[in-house]
Amino acid sequence: MSFNKIQIYPATVLEISDLVRLEQVFTEYALSSQAFHYLIQRAKPCVWVAAQGQRICGDMVLLFFPSKQITRLYSLVVEPSQRRCGIARALLNAAEHLALEYRCPLLRLEVRADNFAARHLYENSAYAYTEYLADFYGKDQAGWQMSKHLLK
């Protein structure tokens, strides 16, 4: 897939070191190399990278639940030096395409209540706040569940 010169494609084991590097922005809950190995082997590609030229500058992890018709955006991250260039929006567009392709059109995610950059991204892409999650990220660290029904 390609959005505004940003290439988006399924990750392979060759990209794991880049994925682990990108995850370092998450001080807690960062996905490990073992977790990426496991996720990359799944039947439906669920780890996707964004690249500009040869450089990997972002990634996302999607979990598909066909029986519930839900796609969960489990992780989304953009390299700090490449932010505000539309990379996350391109990844989110790709997530929506994939959710429809795999017939899991309810896209759901969790975001920290104090993560205003991510909340703006989702709000501006028409995601709705569906549940307040007290202590979701630890004591006194609330989150929001947000979702978007792609067929409505």
Q: Check the CA dihedral 37-23-121-130 and report its sign.
A: positive
- Member of 87, 98, 99, 106 binding ligand COA (CB under 6 A): 87
Determine how many CB atoms are found less than 10 A away from the CB of residue 130.
Answer: 14
The tokens for 98 are 């994939």
d(CA 101, CA 103): 5
Give the one residue of 16, 49, 77, 95 binding ligand COA; rule: CB under 6 A: 77
SS3 146: strand
Local structure of residue 34 (DSSP, 8 states): H
Total number of residues that touch ligand COA (CB under 6 A): 19
Region of 31-39, 72-80, 98-106, 131-139 interacting with ligand COA (CB under 6 A): 72-80
What are the Cα distances from residue 55, in Å, to 64, 107, 130?
27, 28, 35
Tell me the per-residue interface mask from 11 to 50 with ligand COA, x by CB under 6 A, - otherwise. Answer: --------------x-------------------------
Binding flag, residue 142, ligand COA (CB under 6 A): no
Q: Which of 102/112 has CB closer to ligand COA?
A: 112
What residues make contact with ligand COA under the rule CB under 6 A? 25, 76-78, 83-89, 111, 115-118, 120-121, 124
